Amino acid sequence: MRIGATIKSKIFFAITVGFLLCCVSVPDRAQAQNMEINNVDDLALGTWSGVGDLSASDNVCIHSKHTNQTYGITLTGDGAGGAFTLSSGAPTTLPYRVFWNDDISLTGRVEVFAGVKLGNQTGGSRFRNCRFVPTGTNANFSVEVSATDLEGVQSGSYSGVLTLFLSPP
Protein backbone atom coordinates (compact mmCIF):
# COMPACT_ATOMS: atom_id res chain seq x y z
CA MET A 1 0.00 0.00 0.00
CA ARG A 2 1.29 3.42 -0.84
CA ILE A 3 0.83 6.18 1.69
CA GLY A 4 1.32 9.74 0.50
CA ALA A 5 1.25 13.31 1.72
CA THR A 6 2.66 16.72 0.94
CA ILE A 7 4.07 18.57 3.89
CA LYS A 8 4.62 22.32 4.03
CA SER A 9 6.06 24.15 6.96
CA LYS A 10 6.10 27.78 7.93
CA ILE A 11 9.58 27.90 6.40
CA PHE A 12 8.19 27.17 2.93
CA PHE A 13 9.29 23.62 2.33
CA ALA A 14 7.18 20.75 1.13
CA ILE A 15 7.29 17.10 2.06
CA THR A 16 5.22 14.54 0.24
CA VAL A 17 4.60 11.41 2.27
CA GLY A 18 3.33 8.22 0.69
CA PHE A 19 2.83 4.50 1.26
CA LEU A 20 2.45 1.64 -1.15
CA LEU A 21 0.85 -1.55 0.08
CA CYS A 22 2.67 -3.98 -2.13
CA CYS A 23 2.26 -7.18 -0.37
CA VAL A 24 -0.55 -8.95 1.38
CA SER A 25 0.43 -12.49 2.17
CA VAL A 26 -0.54 -15.67 3.96
CA PRO A 27 1.78 -18.41 5.21
CA ASP A 28 1.24 -21.15 2.61
CA ARG A 29 -1.13 -22.46 -0.05
CA ALA A 30 -3.33 -24.38 2.41
CA GLN A 31 -3.69 -21.32 4.60
CA ALA A 32 -4.36 -19.15 1.54
CA GLN A 33 -7.55 -21.08 0.93
CA ASN A 34 -8.66 -20.25 4.47
CA MET A 35 -7.52 -16.64 4.86
CA GLU A 36 -7.26 -13.48 2.79
CA ILE A 37 -7.29 -9.69 2.96
CA ASN A 38 -9.39 -7.67 0.52
CA ASN A 39 -10.38 -4.06 -0.11
CA VAL A 40 -6.94 -2.69 0.79
CA ASP A 41 -6.28 0.79 -0.58
CA ASP A 42 -3.29 3.08 -0.79
CA LEU A 43 -3.21 5.75 1.90
CA ALA A 44 -2.77 9.46 1.18
CA LEU A 45 -1.66 11.48 4.17
CA GLY A 46 -2.26 14.81 2.48
CA THR A 47 -0.31 18.04 2.81
CA TRP A 48 1.40 18.91 6.06
CA SER A 49 0.90 22.57 6.94
CA GLY A 50 3.57 22.65 9.62
CA VAL A 51 1.07 21.99 12.42
CA GLY A 52 -0.16 18.67 13.84
CA ASP A 53 0.34 15.02 12.97
CA LEU A 54 -0.51 13.39 9.65
CA SER A 55 -2.70 10.29 9.71
CA ALA A 56 -4.76 8.07 7.44
CA SER A 57 -6.68 4.83 7.79
CA ASP A 58 -8.27 2.14 5.67
CA ASN A 59 -11.08 -0.32 6.36
CA VAL A 60 -10.32 -3.78 4.96
CA CYS A 61 -11.96 -7.19 4.72
CA ILE A 62 -10.42 -10.13 6.58
CA HIS A 63 -11.65 -13.53 5.43
CA SER A 64 -10.83 -16.38 7.82
CA LYS A 65 -12.21 -19.88 8.02
CA HIS A 66 -10.44 -20.54 11.32
CA THR A 67 -12.43 -21.20 14.48
CA ASN A 68 -14.71 -18.25 15.18
CA GLN A 69 -13.11 -16.48 12.21
CA THR A 70 -10.04 -15.57 14.26
CA TYR A 71 -6.68 -14.63 12.76
CA GLY A 72 -3.27 -13.17 13.45
CA ILE A 73 -1.79 -10.17 11.68
CA THR A 74 1.84 -9.07 11.37
CA LEU A 75 2.81 -5.79 9.71
CA THR A 76 6.22 -4.76 8.47
CA GLY A 77 7.59 -1.68 6.80
CA ASP A 78 10.33 -1.42 4.22
CA GLY A 79 12.81 0.25 6.56
CA ALA A 80 15.86 -1.47 8.01
CA GLY A 81 14.79 -4.71 9.70
CA GLY A 82 11.18 -4.15 8.61
CA ALA A 83 10.89 -0.82 10.45
CA PHE A 84 7.96 1.50 9.79
CA THR A 85 9.81 4.28 7.97
CA LEU A 86 9.30 6.46 4.93
CA SER A 87 12.17 7.48 2.69
CA SER A 88 12.78 10.31 0.28
CA GLY A 89 15.71 8.62 -1.42
CA ALA A 90 18.05 10.67 0.76
CA PRO A 91 19.67 9.15 3.83
CA THR A 92 16.92 10.68 5.99
CA THR A 93 13.98 8.47 6.95
CA LEU A 94 10.68 9.44 8.53
CA PRO A 95 9.26 7.05 11.15
CA TYR A 96 5.55 6.33 11.41
CA ARG A 97 3.31 4.41 13.79
CA VAL A 98 0.82 1.72 12.76
CA PHE A 99 -2.41 0.70 14.50
CA TRP A 100 -4.75 -2.25 13.95
CA ASN A 101 -8.38 -2.77 14.92
CA ASP A 102 -10.40 -5.93 14.34
CA ASP A 103 -13.39 -3.63 13.82
CA ILE A 104 -13.99 -0.86 11.27
CA SER A 105 -13.28 2.10 13.51
CA LEU A 106 -10.37 3.84 15.15
CA THR A 107 -11.94 3.35 18.58
CA GLY A 108 -10.33 0.36 20.26
CA ARG A 109 -7.35 0.20 17.94
CA VAL A 110 -4.00 -1.02 19.24
CA GLU A 111 -0.52 -0.04 18.18
CA VAL A 112 1.38 -2.74 16.33
CA PHE A 113 5.13 -3.04 16.14
CA ALA A 114 7.07 -4.03 13.05
CA GLY A 115 7.35 -7.79 12.68
CA VAL A 116 5.44 -8.57 15.89
CA LYS A 117 2.35 -10.75 15.45
CA LEU A 118 -0.91 -9.47 16.86
CA GLY A 119 -2.76 -12.72 17.52
CA ASN A 120 -6.29 -13.78 18.36
CA GLN A 121 -8.00 -11.07 16.35
CA THR A 122 -11.73 -11.62 15.95
CA GLY A 123 -14.40 -10.52 13.54
CA GLY A 124 -13.11 -12.14 10.36
CA SER A 125 -15.72 -12.99 7.76
CA ARG A 126 -16.46 -16.60 6.81
CA PHE A 127 -17.11 -15.32 3.29
CA ARG A 128 -14.59 -13.93 0.84
CA ASN A 129 -14.83 -10.21 0.13
CA CYS A 130 -17.02 -9.87 3.27
CA ARG A 131 -19.93 -10.70 1.01
CA PHE A 132 -22.58 -10.58 3.75
CA VAL A 133 -21.05 -7.73 5.75
CA PRO A 134 -23.04 -4.52 5.07
CA THR A 135 -19.94 -2.31 4.72
CA GLY A 136 -17.88 -4.93 2.86
CA THR A 137 -15.14 -4.46 5.48
CA ASN A 138 -14.54 -5.74 9.00
CA ALA A 139 -11.15 -4.43 10.17
CA ASN A 140 -9.13 -1.22 10.09
CA PHE A 141 -5.50 -0.18 10.07
CA SER A 142 -4.18 3.32 10.43
CA VAL A 143 -0.85 5.12 10.26
CA GLU A 144 0.39 8.28 11.94
CA VAL A 145 3.41 10.48 11.35
CA SER A 146 4.09 12.80 14.29
CA ALA A 147 4.51 16.54 13.88
CA THR A 148 7.76 16.29 15.83
CA ASP A 149 9.18 13.86 13.28
CA LEU A 150 7.85 15.91 10.36
CA GLU A 151 9.56 19.05 11.69
CA GLY A 152 12.87 17.22 11.76
CA VAL A 153 13.11 16.15 8.11
CA GLN A 154 14.12 17.88 4.91
CA SER A 155 11.64 18.93 2.28
CA GLY A 156 10.93 16.17 -0.21
CA SER A 157 8.73 13.33 -1.29
CA TYR A 158 8.61 10.48 1.22
CA SER A 159 7.10 7.06 0.61
CA GLY A 160 7.21 3.57 1.98
CA VAL A 161 5.76 0.09 1.74
CA LEU A 162 3.62 -1.50 4.42
CA THR A 163 3.20 -5.29 4.24
CA LEU A 164 0.31 -7.09 5.96
CA PHE A 165 0.88 -10.78 6.74
CA LEU A 166 -2.20 -12.79 7.70
CA SER A 167 -1.71 -15.98 9.73
CA PRO A 168 -3.58 -18.39 12.00
CA PRO A 169 -4.47 -16.90 15.39
Q: What is the pLDDT of residue 169?
A: 80
- Amino acid at residue number 33: Q
Tens-digit pLDDT profile for residues 127-165: 877 888 888 899 999 999 999 999 888 877 888 888 888
What torsion do the CA atoms of 2, 48, 158, 142 make, to the nearest 10 degrees? -40
Q: Which domains does the chain have, with CATH numbers?
A: 2-167 (2.60.40)
* Per-residue pLDDT reduced to its tens digit, 104-136: 988 889 999 999 999 999 888 878 778 888 888
Tell me the whole-structure pTM to 2 decimals.
0.82
**Over 70: is that where the pLDDT of 13 sits?**
no
User: What sign for the dihedral angle of Cα 94, 84, 20, 22?
Assistant: positive
pLDDT value for 33: 56
DSSP state of 69: G
As a whole number of Å, the end-to-end CA separation of the chain is 23
Q: pLDDT tens for residues 34-50? A: 788 888 888 888 778 88
pLDDT score at 67? 60
Cα–Cα distance for residue pair 87/167, rounded to 1 Å? 28
Average pLDDT over residues 4-8: 44
pLDDT in tens, 50-69: 889 999 999 998 887 766 77
